[in-house]
Amino acid sequence: MSRIKQFDLPDLGEGLTEGEILKWLVQVGDVIELNQPIVEVETAKAAVEIPAKWGGQVQAIFHPEGATVEVGTAIIAIDTEPAAGPAAEPTGPVPAPSRPESPQPEIPPPGGAIEPGMIGGPAPGGRTAVLVGYGPRTTAAKRRPRRTTGELAQPAEPMPVSTGPLTAQPAQTEPAQTEPAPAGPGPAGPVAKALAKPPVRKLARDLGVDLAGLHGSGPLGSVTRDDVLRANEQAGSTQAGSAQNGSAQNGSAALPPGPDREQRIPVKGVRRLTAENMVASAFTAPHVTEFLTVDLTRSVKALDRIRSQPDWQGIKVSPLLMVARAMLLAARRHPLVNSTWAGDEIVVKEYVNLGIAAATERGLIVPNIKDAGRLTTRELAEAMADLVRTAKAGRTAPADMAGGTMTVTNVGVFGVDSGTPILPPGESAILAIGTIRKAPWVHKEKIRIRQVATLALSFDHRIIDGELGSAFLRDVGAFLTDPEAALLAWT
């Protein structure tokens, strides 16, 4: 049995077939333990850390940060018996069965050492070498055909070379052939690629910075992230000065429209999945949205009393907790609201997996609290806080975002009064709460200043008719208006 084992990107669950390598947590030569996290991978749903299947010494890393890899493709090689002496170097990753591998020409090594994960750099004979660990940087289906003429060996992903500034590049599913730089002043000869890691190249493309014109401050003259940011700041200062000069001469600081004033953001990961789900839901389930403005003064006071209890110290207590508890109690009274349309039948759930919409840097995600109806109010508060904290850290597991039955979202944190939420696929009801604000309100036949907010309930009209939707929303509002009385009456 071979001591060198290639570790494949594992099945990440929930129908996910590929992942983007965000960050390697180990390097070639590191000694690792069984189940030690080795790589951070972003899927269409979350960023997850993948543990090592074996302990040993890292022999090769087959894909750089930023590469998208299919499930079942080798990503790393591990020597499981490093104490036995040097082992034969791995030749490269084994491709996924659905992506046949074609022979790859060997890439000549550079004249000097290149850090693992770097792309490009001078090599003997005026060539450009690509080095990522010991193996090729991507599978055959995504590898660019190599040039058969000329003095440059092309890298495995498009790296435009230009005599002028680069503009932000859109995402490409299939890399286009890189054209040689146009002829300009100076002696003819091969154009050397700038030495930089993939994340640095991506940053340069996004900011429109030409790597070829930079003098790197990293190892072997490689361009670093700071070099790119510094160049971008200098370019911004130059552009601002030109705009001021144009304003003085023409009486206007307007800049001509063009691609250099546009930003292109690749749609992938969480954002792509959210878009697909929202389109599918909006054009599948007939949405109806009802609104109810309620007096939350007693709920706000109840929250203040809870926060003052010694047992609740250190636990986040927010109005969303009261709304969640109100939904769970109302679902007991109206179980059909907690159901799914399944074509020729309606599946009524006897459990509530309560989704909590969370805005993160990577987009909107909706993880859910499993069987939330069985939790005490304190357990519910702890679960909500942990769920949101994990989501904002980008560590939500795909399983935590599957199986939701109804959802609550707090749009009030953005300073708005209400909205028309779209149902997560497979759910029949979603409730939004807007900003809680002081407003004049008729209370006990007198106009008083009260804490008021608007609730918006969207529901699937195939399952929930207007009467049922209104009854559910009315009960949620009644609980928030007088939580003590509702608890006594409903439980």
What CATH number should be reported for the domain holding residue 409? 3.30.559.10
Boundary (domain end) residue, out of 84, 111, 143: 84
- Among the candidates 84, 103, 136, a domain finishes at 84
How many domains, the chain?
3
Burial class (CB in 10 A: 0-12, 13-18, 19+), 134: middle
Question: Are both 409 and 452 inside the same structural domain?
Answer: yes
Q: At what angle do helices 483-490 and 297-307 cross, to 10 degrees?
A: 90
Task: Please indicate, yes or no, whether residues 79 and 130 belong to a single structural domain of this protein.
Answer: no
Does residue 448 share a domain with residue 310? yes
Q: Check which CATH number belongs to the domain holding 14 and give it.
A: 2.40.50.100
Position 273 scores a pLDDT of 73
Same domain, 301 and 377: yes
Task: Let me know if residue 179 belongs to a domain.
Answer: no
Q: Answer whether residue 468 is part of any domain.
A: yes
Residue 31 lies in a domain: yes
155 and 289 in a single domain? The answer is no
Query: Is residue 308 located within the same domain as residue 439?
Result: yes
Residue 102 located in a structural domain: no
Q: Would you say residue 442 lies in a domain?
A: yes
Q: 0.85 cut: is pTM over it? A: no
Q: How far apart are the first and last CA of the chain?
A: 63
The pLDDT assigned to 320 comes to: 94
Q: Please, are residues 76 and 39 in contact by the beta-carbon 8 Å criterion?
A: yes
CA distance linking residue 145 with residue 348, whole number of Å:
54
For the chain, list residues with pLDDT below 50.
95-191, 247-248, 252
Q: Which residue range is the domain that position 131 belongs to? A: 119-170+192-239
Q: Report phi then psi at 170, rounded to 5.
A: -75, 160
Same domain membership, residue 166 and residue 76: no
Quote the pLDDT of residue 347: 95
Q: What is the pLDDT of residue 380?
A: 95
Looking at beta carbons, which pairs linking 472-477 to residues 24 or more positions away fall under 8 Å? 472/330, 472/331, 472/333, 472/334, 472/337, 472/429, 473/290, 473/292, 473/431, 474/292, 475/326, 475/329, 475/330, 475/333, 475/334, 476/292, 476/323, 476/326, 476/327, 476/330, 476/431, 477/292, 477/294
At 405, list the tokens.
């039955």
Indicate whether 140 belongs to any domain.
Answer: yes
Could you tell me if 73 and 123 lie in one domain? no
Q: Which of 24, 57, 84 is the last residue of a domain?
A: 84
How far apart are the C-alpha atoms of 56 and 376, rounded to whole Å?
45
User: Residue 407 domain-assigned?
Assistant: yes
Q: Are residues 299 and 348 in the same domain?
A: yes
Residues 398 and 274 placed together within one structural domain of the fold: yes
Q: Do 286 and 147 fall into the same domain?
A: no
**Does residue 110 lie in a domain region?**
no
Three-point CA angle 480, 333, 301, nearest 5°: 15
Residue 405 confidence (pLDDT): 95
Catalytic amino acids? 461
Q: Which of 156, 66, 144, 90 is nearest to 120 (CA)?
A: 156
Do 158 and 10 lie in one domain? The reply is no
